[in-house]
Structure 1
């Protein structure tokens, strides 16, 4: 019995079970093969899929196509920039204003390799939102049997400044 793989292969051992152990793995396509020699001298094997999980290298939050104070009642788009995370199918991006959850974004991409993603959130701030802090959180949902708590990285907060929209009336007087 043994494991055949690019990394962590064991060779044939006369035992009832063999553990495949790799301390650091960065091969996103590896498929170790477990093999066994049967009593009649034949050999059977089975490939085991491996999924590597990677938290982001960096995260940031920004306002798209805008700088400076916001005007109440105007629509703005926030963007969460997540660099090099894998796999996307396990990623849940959570948006918050303060501690209030706003939205969750999930992905169905089957790619196993690290990717950059930039989900967005539309907001229409009111004057009460002046000083509000928005943040996004990348969580790798590994299911109930996976690592608990789930691996999570949160952006630094984005504090917004909101100016009131004033209705201005201009009177023009004609003097004769």
Structure 2
């Protein structure tokens, strides 16, 4: 990964309709981080740990990513994708 975050677990294999929870932890000081996802998104926060949490995952092609704003000189957040396999 290219972002200063630690995603745990790093990839997930989930049964369709079951639950999933993945944490993203900042490894540097930052100005906002969160999860972008079509289900279970987490709005930008100053917390250093954000959890992507879906209790009933029913989307086959979900592509969540953790984003973090840590570089004051450019606003574009760094995005770290989470590989999700659904069966």
TM category (shorter chain) comes to: 0.5 to 0.7
Larger Rg: 1
Q: How does 1:87-126 map to 2 (within 5 A)?
A: 91-97=31-37, 102-107=41-46, 117-123=48-54, 124-126=56-58
Shift in Å, 1:96: 1.5
Q: How does 1:1-20 map to 2 (within 5 A)?
A: none
Higher RCO, Cα 8 Å, sep 6+: 2
Which residue does the alignment assign to 1:172?
Answer: none
Give the strand-richer structure, 1 or 2: 2
Residues 137 and 63 of structure 1, relative CA distance in 2, 3 Å threshold: same
Which residue does the alignment assign to 1:58?
Answer: 4
What is the TM-score normalised by the length of structure 1? Answer: 0.37
Aligned length: 84
- For the aligned residue pairs, the C-alpha RMSD in angstroms reads 3.3
What is the TM-score normalised by the length of structure 2? Answer: 0.65
Name structure 2 gaps, 5 residues minimum.
none
Name structure 1 gaps, 5 residues minimum.
1-56, 109-116, 164-176
